Structure 1
């Protein structure tokens, strides 16, 4: 029996291969990635313009008579109803004017009654041959003068009452009220200018100029267009889309000679008051029937010298797909004309670690739709 020295046994144990941390042939761990499903959706065909929001009703509130402002009865920026009190002008002088006109009318009516009695007496005397025709005619003329005076007094009383009513300045339309240019204690009158402004809120107009070239393109894209059925959508400056759809209700009858554009106006619902008079927005004008297109997020697109491609998940692995882009989508979405089919899983998150052929674990994430 051959004896092996102890030191040799220790050296053999140290240099002999031990079990590996990962067994031979075991596949690498799958890379977790975020995916969305390529979807086929009906997308609007639209032309984009820059538009301006305009109130359907806009009123500049002014004073119709001169007097001291006694009260401001609204809160700036609040919604108001038609007929709501806005300002109150000191009433005392106008109440006195009404009473003075009432007194003048009473005197005129009394004079008319006396003139009628005198005419009757003159006629009776003439009938008994005790009076003259001249006296009767003079009495008749006095009665006519009294009637005219009464008519004038009635008009003066009506004017005084109207002026008294003007001391209460009310909202002529419903809408949102702006800031006041005057405060309590100031003298206001017709020369004071605009006291405040009211703009209606719902519905609201959106106007936008359309070039002759785009206008012809629209006419070609929409067969027998009915403007009442032409829809528009609008986006705000931050790229977010307004949730309501508007309808074109007016196309200007002439072309602006300085810009060679036609002004188009649409009516847009505004129940929550999100749209404000004078606001600048992006307008998407529908030019045809919706088309079925494949839509994926812009975040899924990768560009190189060969063009644009995406990674899709097939049998648990990342696979490269070259794609052809269609019309530009809206916001985070892209339209794919070729290279993808509906239902395929497209990688949008974790792309910086993805390589063709590696094993991946698909984790679905939320996605949005786009527009042509």
Structure 2
């Protein structure tokens, strides 16, 4: 009997031990240990984020200087690359025959006007005589016809004089606006004819324009700038290839009429002061436009962000140390950090390291790190 009781007692003890083990395993399966992660507190920071666009410098005015008449270049009044003023003499074409043509035209006008004066007096005299029946009416009619011819001759002679004056004016090629002249394409003694060859090119310098293109999705933003918004978004600067930044701020002045059908982009034009000719026509520069990530913005390390199917998320830690995925709208990349336009508020805690071990609703044991900004 004592042996049976001992065996029964051992069986009960073994069963109890087995039951406890199963219970502990069940508890362990239901509540896995908290995941150790490193976390940070979301902060705001003063930032100035900039979008950059490849750009080209273009003059506000530019003209090819070409001869309008035939002749020989007799004077070149400027040096290559010289700054010139509107109306300044640049080239002279041999004037001799054009001076003579003008004088001849002036003489023709004088003769025609003299003839017109004589015939006018004859007509006036004949009209007085016809009132007294002292002259044949046919002679009066002939005189009036001669008067019309004389008037036409004066008109033609004056037109010829104006043409001669125009040709004479073309012997002097002058600057149509202030600017910088290029390298001369002709020398003294060169023979020229209407339109050929190119004499030089003149470009205006100050102000100067910079052209760049944007995608059609950016049009609403730049339309707001065109309407005179005083937001810092309206600040435009440019940088050179050596990294230096042009000291003057530009003004958005023109948006093209239509989006390119093939490119899906539209051209814009910004005006800059250029007193020192630092910007030269044809230069390629980078247009820098301050975007909406300006001022106090939520900034987080880009390392904390995960991407899924083109959308961006972070793991947010609540007061019970449980994580949940939060979708974000991201802004500009700022070195190792990124601006968050929506989805987070300052003071919230997010996972910074250990993201790969997490899932929605997981418990974490966060180690709070100092600011990473």
In structure 1, what is the Cα distance between the partners aligned to 2:45 and 2:209?
Answer: 29
In structure 2, what is the Cα distance between the partners aligned to 1:278 and 1:89?
Answer: 30
In structure 1, the partner of 2:75 is 71
1:286 partner SS: strand
Residue-pair matches, total: 263
**What does the per-residue CA deviation read over 1:128-162, in whole Å, with 9 as the maximum and x for residues that have no partner?**
21211111111111112111111111111111111
Which of residues 78, 81, 85 in structure 2 aligns to 1:81? 85
In structure 2, what is the Cα distance between the partners aligned to 1:289 and 1:135?
Answer: 94
In structure 1, the partner of 2:201 is 197
1:152 partner SS: helix
Listed as ranges, the gaps of 5+ residues in structure 2 are 1-43, 299-330, 340-373
1:166-205 equivalences under 5 Å are 166-205=170-209
Give the CA deviation at 1:227: 4.6
Which of residues 106, 110, 114 in structure 2 aligns to 1:110? 114
1:1-372 equivalences under 5 Å are 43-215=47-219, 218=221, 224-229=224-229, 230-288=234-292, 290-292=294-296
Give the CA deviation at 1:209: 0.9
Distance 1:44 1:247, change over 3 A: farther
**What does the per-residue CA deviation read over 1:269-308, in whole Å, with 9 as the maximum and x for residues that have no partner?**
11111001111011112223731489xxxxxxxxxxxxxx
Superposition TM-score, scaled by structure 2 size: 0.65
Contact 2:226 2:252 in 1 (8 A): no
Contact 1:227 1:248 in 2 (8 A): no
In structure 1, what is the Cα distance between the partners aligned to 2:209 and 2:284?
Answer: 12
Give the CA deviation at 1:263: 0.9
Give the CA deviation at 1:335: 7.3
Task: Please provide the CA RMSD for this pair.
Answer: 2.8
Give the CA deviation at 1:213: 4.0
In structure 2, what is the Cα distance between the partners aligned to 1:286 and 1:336?
Answer: 15
Superposition TM-score, scaled by structure 1 size: 0.65
